[in-house]
């Protein structure tokens, strides 16, 4: 990513950027250099090469330097079962716990059902909070008394609150964004928020009493700058509320923490976590305060999780945890790889812990503070993210701050625009998700979970007199393709076989293999099982094999040269046999002739993959 300025060990002459560009231009064969520059959903450019940058004057260091804290999710509905899992996680290497309640931003089909004194006592039985075990609460409108119940539990244990690392996690604006309503207008709600936070601080709870949680933006399809601006705007709203309640600004800022999603985009992931600290430091400076490292929590992203071939979630979770760690997160929670299927079992939870233990104990990712400091690519991306997020933050401020922007729906509209583009790119496989729109495993076996995914655990019913707004509902990128696979599963259960498509391979193996494999992966992403035809030059043999396959669809696969010689003849023969015809590749000048011969659709990289699969699945049943 960053070019070296000195020759490697003095043994080789250091190449210059001009020499590199000369080789690149030769490889591009006349194509524009801009084809190597990628764009983020914020419109930021990522170049293929950067020069070394000056070290940042504000390095991204953790509030508590060294190892980040490994948090295990506690999200089973039954308190006793949740406690058994929590103790097992702590014994297995987790440093702390992330208590997730039904209705919270991070519920994801589960969550603790109870939040009263008894439920909290059962959930945390034998957990040594007096040892400084970090515990964070995921704020939920369905568990409004959870923080107070936890405070009472600690008091009954005769534990000094200031010695604990318990985050009570008050986050009314995050809850409003997630569920689309506020019980009171913000001028009144802010006073209630400030009273709760002040009462906790007066009782000695000083560790992340309030949390500005941007996961709600990420899981709704938002961009990195939108996440950062949301978190910054929420934190500023909380800071103002606490200052108005008479809390000193220096004390108030220490009561506020941040939480972000980490996904499998390493470059943007690292830059986002680094940018969060820089942006908050700018707010601190504007308040007349010297910047101090804030607490930043991370959780691997719900948006990238897949129910199909979920083993790939392990790889995505590992890269996400790596990015958060390099970016300076203080705590990281890795979603177990079966989270989208339901309540993860012990094996899935163990892998979530071990992912981070390997990064710490074998890879020593925590050994260097802000390891990308001075790396040209990361510095450039961090700088541009800060600029974009700050501009959006200022725009939110002109809309009345985050409470006003949420009430008007302005912020949600911007997120929806980004989510729509993201969905379009997924549908066209421009954005790739292994197991969903790329390399599906149509014959995968079922995996065990403790209980199935429960969508009702995520919902909160607004009271009759609530101030309603647009909710930022979470969704996973794989969902449209998963719905197609579920239709295929229903066919398999009802008839004993899946919808099929016959791959009519023309010419030699060398001619048809590439497009036949492309077509197989393409159709099976939608649950349409591909049946390979024989290697033969005989159209009669191809038609006989099609009839024997039991498929209603056929897809012609070969090279452009063979298409020019044989595709029209094969199409006419297959159409005569009753096949609905597809062809793998762009037809070019042959399109009119091929359509006349019976080809109804063409599949190729960049086409509307999801739309084509909807049609194919309907025709193949």
User: 29-38, 227-236, 308-317, 501-510: lowest mean pLDDT where?
Assistant: 29-38
- Checking if the pLDDT of 4 tops 80, the result is no
**Buried b / exposed e along 224-243 (16+ C-beta atoms within 10 A):** bbbbbbbbbbbbbbbbebbb
Domain at 69-362+372-422: CATH architecture: Alpha-Beta Barrel (3.20)
pLDDT at 20: 85
Q: Which residue has the tokens 């003849």?
A: 569
**DSSP at 564:** I
Q: Kindly indicate the confidence band of residue 21, based on its pLDDT and cuts at 50, 70 and 90.
A: confident
The helix (run of H) or strand (run of E) holding residue 338 is none
CB atoms within 10 A of CB 385: 26
Give 553-606 pLDDT, tens digit per residue.
Answer: 999 999 999 999 999 999 999 999 999 999 999 999 999 999 999 999 999 999
Q: Where are the domains of the chain?
A: 69-362+372-422, 481-620
Answer yes or no: same fold for 69-362+372-422 and 481-620. no
The pair of structure tokens assigned to 345 is: 């079992």
Give 427-446 pLDDT, tens digit per residue.
Answer: 999 999 999 999 999 999 88
Beta-bridged to residue 557, according to DSSP, are: 505
Q: Where are the beta strands (DSSP E) in 451-533?
A: 451-452, 467-468, 500-505, 529-532
**Residue 178, Ramachandran bin (φ over 0: left; ψ between -120 and 50: alpha; else beta):** alpha
Give which of 87, 184, 101 is closest to 149, Cα–Cα: 101
pLDDT at 160: 94
**DSSP at 469:** -
CA distance 83 to 375: 43
Average pLDDT rounded to a whole number, residues 364-385: 92
Return the HEC string of 568-597. Answer: HHHHHHHHHCCCEEEEECCCHHHHHHHHHH
Q: Kindly indicate the confidence band of residue 8, based on its pLDDT and cuts at 50, 70 and 90.
A: low
Give which of 572, 604, 606 is closest to 588, Cα–Cα: 604
Pick the CATH number of 481-620 from 3.30.460.10, 3.30.70.20, 3.40.50.280, 3.40.1260.20: 3.40.50.280
**DSSP at 444:** P
CA distance 430 to 432: 6
CA distance 279 to 377: 19
Tally: H helices and E strands in the chain = 22, 19
pLDDT at 1: 45
CA distance 363 to 88: 24
Residue 258 C-beta-side C-alpha neighbours within 13 Å: 35
pLDDT at 11: 66
pLDDT at 56: 80
Give which of 483, 381, 498, 444 is closest to 43, Cα–Cα: 381
Average pLDDT, the chain: 94
CB atoms within 10 A of CB 32: 9
Give 282-340 pLDDT, tens digit per residue.
Answer: 999 999 999 999 999 999 999 999 999 999 999 999 999 999 999 999 999 999 999 99
């Amino acid at each position: 990513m960053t070019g070296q300025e000195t020759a490697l060990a003095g043994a080789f002459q250091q190449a210059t950027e001009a020499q590199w560009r000369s080789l690149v231009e030769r490889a591009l064969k006349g194509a524009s250099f801009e084809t190597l520059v990628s764009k983020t959903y914020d419109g930021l450019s990522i170049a293929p090469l950067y020069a070394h940058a000056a070290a940042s004057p504000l390095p991204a260091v953790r509030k508590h330097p060294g190892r980040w804290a490994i948090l295990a999710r506690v999200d089973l509905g039954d308190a006793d079962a949740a406690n058994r899992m929590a103790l097992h996680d702590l014994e297995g290497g987790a440093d702390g716990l992330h208590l997730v309640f039904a209705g919270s931003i991070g519920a994801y089909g589960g969550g603790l059902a109870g939040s009263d004194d008894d439920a909290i006592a059962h959930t945390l039985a034998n957990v040594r909070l007096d040892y400084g075990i970090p515990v964070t609460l995921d704020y939920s409108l369905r568990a409004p008394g959870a923080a107070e119940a936890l405070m009472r539990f600690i008091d009954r244990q005769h534990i000094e609150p200031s010695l604990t690392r318990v985050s009570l996690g008050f986050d009314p604006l995050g809850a409003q964004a997630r569920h689309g309503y506020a019980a009171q207008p913000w001028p009144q709600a802010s006073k209630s928020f400030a009273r709760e936070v002040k009462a906790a601080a007066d009782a000695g709870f000083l560790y992340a009493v309030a949390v500005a949680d941007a996961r709600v933006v990420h899981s709704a399809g938002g961009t990195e700058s939108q996440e950062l601006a949301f978190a910054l705007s929420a934190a500023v709203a909380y800071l103002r509320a606490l200052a108005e309640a008479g809390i000193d600004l220096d004390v108030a800022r220490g009561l506020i923490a941040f939480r972000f999603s980490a996904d499998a985009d390493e470059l943007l992931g690292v830059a986002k976590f680094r940018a969060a600290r820089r942006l908050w430091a700018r707010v601190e400076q504007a308040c007349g305060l010297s910047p101090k490292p804030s607490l930043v929590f991370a959780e691997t992203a719900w948006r990238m999780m897949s129910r199909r071939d979920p083993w790939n979630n392990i790889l995505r979770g590992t890269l996400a945890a790596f990015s958060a760690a390099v970016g300076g997160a203080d705590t990281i929670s890795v979603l177990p790889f079966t989270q989208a299927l339901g309540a993860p079992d012990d094996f899935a939870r163990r892998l979530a812990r071990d992912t981070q233990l390997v990064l710490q104990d074998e890879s020593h990712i925590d050994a260097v503070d802000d390891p990308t400091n001075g790396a040209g690519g990361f510095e450039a991306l961090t700088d541009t993210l800060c600029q974009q997020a700050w501009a959006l933050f200022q725009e939110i401020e002109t809309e009345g701050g985050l409470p006003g922007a949420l009430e008007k729906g302005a912020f949600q509209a911007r997120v929806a625009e980004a989510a729509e583009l993201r969905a379009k790119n997924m549908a066209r496989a421009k954005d790739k998700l292994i197991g969903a729109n790329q390399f599906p495993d149509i014959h995968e076996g079922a995996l065990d979970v403790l209980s199935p995914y429960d969508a009702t655990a995520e919902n909160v019913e607004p009271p009759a007199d609530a101030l309603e707004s647009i909710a930022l509902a979470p969704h996973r990128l794989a969902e449209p393709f998963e719905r197609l696979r579920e239709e295929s599963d229903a066919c398999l259960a009802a008839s004993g076989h899946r919808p099929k498509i016959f791959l009519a391979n023309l010419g030699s193996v060398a001619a048809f293999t590439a497009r036949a494999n492309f077509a197989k992966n393409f159709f099976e992403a939608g649950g349409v099982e591909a049946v390979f035809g024989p290697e033969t030059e005989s159209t009669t043999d191809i038609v006989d094999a099609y009839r024997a396959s039991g498929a209603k669809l056929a897809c012609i696969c070969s090279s452009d040269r063979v298409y020019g010689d044989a595709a029209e003849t094969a199409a006419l023969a297959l159409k005569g046999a009753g096949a609905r015809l597809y062809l793998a590749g762009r037809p070019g000048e042959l399109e009119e002739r091929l359509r006349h011969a019976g080809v109804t659709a063409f599949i190729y990289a960049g086409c509307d993959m999801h739309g084509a699969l909807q049609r194919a699945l309907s025709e193949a049943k």
